[in-house]
Amino acid sequence: MTEIRRFYDSLFERYGDLRWWPGETPFEIMLGAILTQNTNWVNVEKALSNLAKLGLLSPHELLNADDEVIREAIRPSGYFNQKTLKLRRFMDWLNYKTECSIDALSMFPTEELRYDLLSIRGIGPETADDILLYALDRPVFVVDAYTFRIAYRHGWIPQNIDYDGLAEIFRASIEYDISIYKNYHAMIVETGKNFCRKKAPICAVCPGKSHLPESGPYE
DNA sequence: GACCAGGCACATC
DNA sequence: GATGTGCATGGT
Q: For residues A121 and A167, state if they share a domain.
A: no
Q: How far is the CA of A118 from the C1' of B7 (A)?
A: 13
Asked whether residue A203 is domain-assigned, the answer is no
Residue A7 shares a structural domain with residue A71? no
Nucleotides in chain B with any atom closer than 7 Å to protein CB: 3-10
- Which residues in window 145-184 of A are less than 7 A from strand C by Cβ? 160
Low-confidence ranges of chain A (pLDDT < 50): 202, 213-217
Q: What is the pLDDT of residue A153?
A: 83
* pLDDT at residue A211 in the model: 56
Domain that holds residue A14: 3-18+142-195
Does residue A210 lie within any of the structural domains? no
- Taking the C1' atom of every nucleotide in all shown strands and the CA of A82, the nearest one is C7
What pLDDT score does A1 carry? 75
Please report, rounded to whole angstroms, the spatial distance between the CA atom of protein residue A100 and the C1' atom of nucleotide B2.
Answer: 43
Which bases along strand C come within 7 Å of a protein CB atom? 2, 7-12
* DSSP H stretches of helix in chain A: 3-15, 26-35, 41-53, 59-63, 67-74, 80-98, 110-118, 125-130, 145-153, 163-173, 178-195
Q: How many domains does chain A fold into?
A: 2
